[in-house]
Amino acid sequence: MKYLISPGFAKSGTTLLHACLGRTSTFAVPRRKELKHFLGPRADLGGWVAEFGDVPEQTEVLFEASPQYLTASSPEVMAGVVARIVERVPDARFVLNLRHPTERAYSHYVHNVASHFARFGAGRFRPGDGREAVERPYTRTFEEALETEPHLTADLHARLVALTETVGPERVKLFFLERDGRDFGTFYRDLCGWLGVRDDGAFRPGDAPRVHESAGAPVILYGGEHGEPVDGIEVPRRTLVIVNGRRPTTVVRDVSDAEARRVVAASGAWSFSMPADRMRGIYERHHKARTEALLDYVSRRFPAETGVPDYGSWAFTDKVIDPVEPSAPVVRADLRRSAGT
């Protein structure tokens, strides 16, 4: 059995890899993505393999994607995590997911707001007491988040260097989302050849699978002091509903009119539209120097890489994230569930 790990970067195609490799007979993926197994100092190979359950006999490679291995800590700590993996997983190899840093940062911002902060409150990635979305609504624009949230400006170059110099470039394969996501079949063929395993023909050159679409910008519904229909949905009195396109809907009860207005006002700051010129300015201010260093390092340490995206002269496009369209049956069911009926 061979072992392949993607330690990041987040919002650069790790979900795509997990889903696509899980469709093949050559690779097996764990029952849940992002095991984060090797963040713990006592992590071992046996415990990691157990996370995959019973794999088919024809499986040749176990694959895990956990972006936290690269982005949850400093490059120095990350190098220690990689060293732990190398020590405890014989002949482990790594596929590193890359994407234009500004595009990646914006995708990360949208994901965090839509999937976490709008629903659970500023800075929260998990539900709290149920009222934090009201008491601590998230108010940052993309530009403000770049100044205060380090995962949006993570030094991809430093982390690539830390990974490569720890394990050697011969044990690292690069996945550029803009190149390999559009021709996954060619990447898959090359990946199998690099690993020395069977190409089962699951993908053909030119295949560009899509496995994950953004849910859209969250929509906030409030029933007022007396309860009223909003977008065709009967929202109970003093109840705030945050719909993000994925169940479960966030339902907060006993919300005053003033609190609801505060949440709606906070949502007005969210950067769910970004003109191309602002994206270019953000790249110049926050990502340019490190991106140039990353591309230079790739050219020197991975000279066989062809078709590397030219991030330096990137043609940004206007970004518009449309609001989700609330599903009345789903929201009604979630309202009943939250009320225990």
**pLDDT tens readout for residues 49-98:** 999 999 999 999 999 999 999 876 677 788 788 889 999 998 999 999 99
Residue holding tokens 């010129």?
277
Asked if residue 148 has pLDDT above 80, the reply is yes
Model confidence band, residue 247 (pLDDT cutoffs 50, 70, 90) = low
Contact 216, 114 (CB under 8 A): yes
Closest listed residue to residue 103, CA positions, set 285, 264, 298, 283: 283
Which of these ranges, 134-138, 231-235, 267-271, 272-276, has the smallest mean pLDDT? 231-235
Asked if residue 110 has pLDDT above 70, the reply is yes
The three-point CA angle 111-290-140 to 5° equals 35
Model confidence band, residue 223 (pLDDT cutoffs 50, 70, 90) = very high
Contact 98, 177 (CB under 8 A): yes
Average pLDDT over every residue of 214-236 = 89
Closest listed residue to residue 302, CA positions, set 174, 158, 162: 174
Asked if residue 233 has pLDDT above 80, the reply is yes
Q: Report how far residue 35's alpha carbon sits from residue 80's, in angstroms, rounded to the nearest whole number.
A: 17
Q: Report how far residue 193's alpha carbon sits from residue 313's, in angstroms, rounded to the nearest whole number.
A: 32
pLDDT at site 107: 95
At 98, which helix (H) or strand (E)?
Answer: strand 93-98
Regarding pTM above 0.85, the answer is yes
Give the HSE-up count for residue 121: Cα atoms under 13 Å, Cβ half-sphere.
13
Residue holding tokens 């049956």?
329
The sign of the dihedral angle between the CA atoms of 35, 243, 12, 208 is positive
Model confidence band, residue 136 (pLDDT cutoffs 50, 70, 90) = very high
Contact 298, 89 (CB under 8 A): no
Q: Where in the chain is the domain with CATH 3.40.50.300?
A: 2-101+153-212
pLDDT at site 184: 98
Asked if residue 193 has pLDDT above 80, the reply is yes
CATH label, 2-101+153-212, candidates 3.20.20.70, 3.40.50.300, 3.90.1580.10, 3.40.50.620:
3.40.50.300
Q: What is the CA radius of gyration of the chain?
A: 22
Which of these ranges, 158-167, 210-219, 250-259, 260-269, has the smallest mean pLDDT? 210-219
DSSP label of 253: E
Residue holding tokens 């609001």?
323
Percentage of residues in the chain with pLDDT exceeding 70? 98
Q: Report how far residue 334's alpha carbon sits from residue 331's, in angstroms, rounded to the nearest whole number.
A: 5
pLDDT in tens, 260-301: 999 999 999 999 999 999 999 999 999 999 999 999 999 999
Q: Report how far residue 197's alpha carbon sits from residue 182's, in angstroms, rounded to the nearest whole number.
A: 23
Closest listed residue to residue 220, CA positions, set 246, 193, 251, 189: 251
pLDDT at site 151: 85
Contact 47, 94 (CB under 8 A): no
pLDDT at site 210: 85
pLDDT at site 213: 65
pLDDT at site 74: 73
List phi, psi (to 5°) of 39. -70, -25
Percentage of residues in the chain with pLDDT exceeding 90? 80
Q: Report how far residue 66's alpha carbon sits from residue 73's, in angstroms, rounded to the nearest whole number.
A: 13
Which of these ranges, 12-21, 26-35, 206-215, 322-331, has the smallest mean pLDDT? 206-215
Average pLDDT, the chain: 93
pLDDT at site 70: 86
Q: Report how far residue 124's alpha carbon sits from residue 19's, in angstroms, rounded to the nearest whole number.
A: 26
DSSP label of 180: H
